[in-house]
Structure 1
Amino acid sequence: MTGASVAAGYARLLSDYLRGQTQGASLSAGQAAWIEAIDASAANAASDAHAPTSRAEWLAMIAALGEQADDPALPLKIGAAFQLRHLGLAGHVLINCTTLGEAGRQVVRYNRLMGDVGNSQLVRRGDWVEDIFQWPEAGAPPAALEQLWAAATVTLGRWLSGRDDLTWQAHFRFARPRDLTEYERIFGIAPRFGQPVTKLVFPASVLDLSIATGNPELRVIAEAQAASALKALDSEPEILRRTRRAIEQRLGSEHAALDDIAALLGMSGRTLHRRLAECGCNFRELADAVRRARAERCLRDPTIPLAEIAFLLGYREQSNFQHAFKRWTGQTPGEFRARLGQ
């Protein structure tokens, strides 16, 4: 899926894990800048919880850090660090469900708010339930995403139910690794590998476990907010969504011009220009909107220097960023940040 993305809140799971870990101390300059951009994207969760980041870059970062640390189980550990806040609005719905079964159904319903990370399906087979991971593309999902999804799902289930003793039988498509220590720690039992589908198998009784924090009144409010966010996603033309994601993916590189983005989307620059015009938009307007959104998110984090924000937006000179931001908002980046501080 060209231009596939991950919601910033979900992507931040990686940076949250790295914080305080030994891997975080050995990041390259490029990796550190990418992590800071992710943190900035998720900083304003109240109004922009689902701002996208590139799924390909996110997975590549996980793979690179795993190789760097010589730790094949790194995606599992990242998934096990999962917290409800990484789900954004969907998390508010889940915490106010009454049972794990209800929460599982709501995860399926609002999964698209988390980006292009795949979905899951609960299938009951007698006294057992299979939570089957569904990958939206041809072929098997990336092994890192299989691991991360399974570990995050188990971690969330235990947290919501308050039952750290629950175990899941995990099935993975990839081959059996040499060391199963981390797998057994997270799932409670050794998984099965080389399986036809990725899934978690557990007793059906788990679905009836209560969620202590469940509040039906708050759930109605949370569902209304999540449904509104889904509607906003559905109302946007696909070409605008794909182009915006592609720009977000290439922002900060030397390959973010119209022809570069068009090639990434599998079309000519002229065709992309025409299709955007049909939606009442042009490429510069869309690119500026992406840059402005990232700039405002970064400016909400006072630890990110203005020069670094300019670099993340693809500007070679900080002065060019200053002029562009004032054109967008009527104020300089410094004035915008100062108002936030007040």
Structure 2
Amino acid sequence: MTLFVRASSVRAYAAVMRGLGADPAPFLRRYHIAPKAFEDDDALVDLRAVNLLLEASSAETGCGDLGLRIAETLDFGFLGALGVVIQNAATAAEAFQIASQYMFVHSQGLKLTMNPHSPLVEGAVEMVFDILLPGHPPQRQNIDMCLGTAHFLAKALLGAPYDLKLVTLPHTPIAPLSRYRRFFGAPVIASQERASLHGPVTAFGAELRGANPALRRITEDYLARHFRVPGDGVSPRVRLALRRVLGTPQASMEGIAAMLAIHPRTLHRRLEAEGTGFEAIKETLRQELALQYLRETNVPLGQISGLLGFPEQSAFSRSCRRWFDETPSAIRKKTGRAHPTRVEG
């Protein structure tokens, strides 16, 4: 099964590579990652491809701390709505619980857990990070990026009480350990069982300053409604995934199943159990988006056909007559948008 990650996590990759005097384009082509994906924070890219991209880029540029360099550029914005909820949690412990619960929104291939009793530091908790790629491929840079990003976000969230005590790496780093110690401001031990950050228990019980409970409730409600927790209803997740790739070859049962890390037959059974099916969800989404594009935009009809995944404009027109008993032009004319201007998308 293919696991994906939001492109926002590596949006600084190209800039960091250029800063090293390297052209990122050949690396992106090698691993079939479209450069435009980094322009859309909600775009999904293959997690394994990102892993390979970072490892190859590190090796061929001689930059052993590539993951840390990318982490230095990130802030809560790369997490989207999840970042808003985390920042507005009442306490650090609650922020961590939210991050752990909704990490699948960012990537189902990343897992974040907390051990309330660090096995290595007395009076500390342990935050553990896992990358769930089958076969355990080399992932030094991705692990470093995850740890580094979490460290910077925790510092921003907690301030002085954060006081990191220890970092453990599940690999032997290419860069000197001194680089890691400077980055984290704490002792770093390599070749350990897992990737983790160890901080004081007291910091995670602290109240967060500047939290906006109302904004947190609104955003968490959005996450709960649009990004169902794995194991909950699958149809909203299918709809969300389809919305992102409609009009591309990936908008098939097999493609969406891969995005959700579910076998196609399992996805079919789960949708059937919820009283729906893949084609029904796709059909409904197409209808809703057709009305949106026709009523609220000036996108040309031919371009709308492509955005909705129709092979040609005539097929889109036939569907509109079947759905709404009207042609696309007639629907658009009613809203005064009979003279569209092409919009890139």
Q: Which residue of 1 aligns with 2:123?
A: 127
Q: Does 1:337 align with 2:343?
A: yes
Supply the distance in 2 between the matched residues of 1:179 and 1:13 (Cα, whole angstroms).
24
Q: CA deviation at 1:83?
A: 0.9
How many equivalent pairs are there?
298
- Indicate conservation of the 8 Å contact 1:172/1:195, yes or no: yes
Amino acid at match of 1:337: V
Q: CA deviation at 1:180?
A: 1.9
Give runs of aligned pairs for residues 86-235 of structure 1, distance below 5 A: 86-125=78-117, 127-136=123-132, 140=136, 142-163=139-160, 166-177=163-174, 179-231=176-228, 234-235=232-233
Q: CA deviation at 1:244?
A: 6.5
Q: CA deviation at 1:274?
A: 8.2
Q: Which residue of 2 aligns with 1:14?
A: 10
Q: 2:51 aligns with which of 51, 59, 69?
A: 59
The C-alpha deviation readout for 1:215-239, integer Å capped at 9, x for no partner, is 2222221221121122387432599
* Closer, same or farther: CA 200–239 of 1 in aligned 2, 3 Å: closer
Supply the distance in 2 between the matched residues of 1:23 and 1:82 (Cα, whole angstroms).
18
- Indicate conservation of the 8 Å contact 1:95/1:160, yes or no: yes
Tell me the TM-score normalized by structure 1. Answer: 0.66
Q: Which residue of 1 aligns with 2:34?
A: 34
Q: Which residue of 2 aligns with 1:236?
A: 234
Q: CA deviation at 1:118?
A: 2.0
Amino acid at match of 1:37: A
**Greater helix percent: which structure?**
1
Identity among equivalent pairs (%): 19
The C-alpha deviation readout for 1:130-177, integer Å capped at 9, x for no partner, is 112244466657333321211111010011123498334111221254
Unmatched tracts of structure 1, length 5 or more: 43-48, 297-309
Unmatched tracts of structure 2, length 5 or more: 294-305, 321-327, 333-339
- Indicate conservation of the 8 Å contact 2:170/2:194, yes or no: yes
* Closer, same or farther: CA 139–181 of 1 in aligned 2, 3 Å: same
* Closer, same or farther: CA 68–337 of 1 in aligned 2, 3 Å: farther
Structure number with the bigger relative contact order (C-alpha 8 A, sep ≥ 6) is 1
Rg comparison, structure with higher value: 2
* Closer, same or farther: CA 176–38 of 1 in aligned 2, 3 Å: closer
Q: What is the RMSD of the two structures over their aligned residues, measured on CA atoms?
A: 4.9
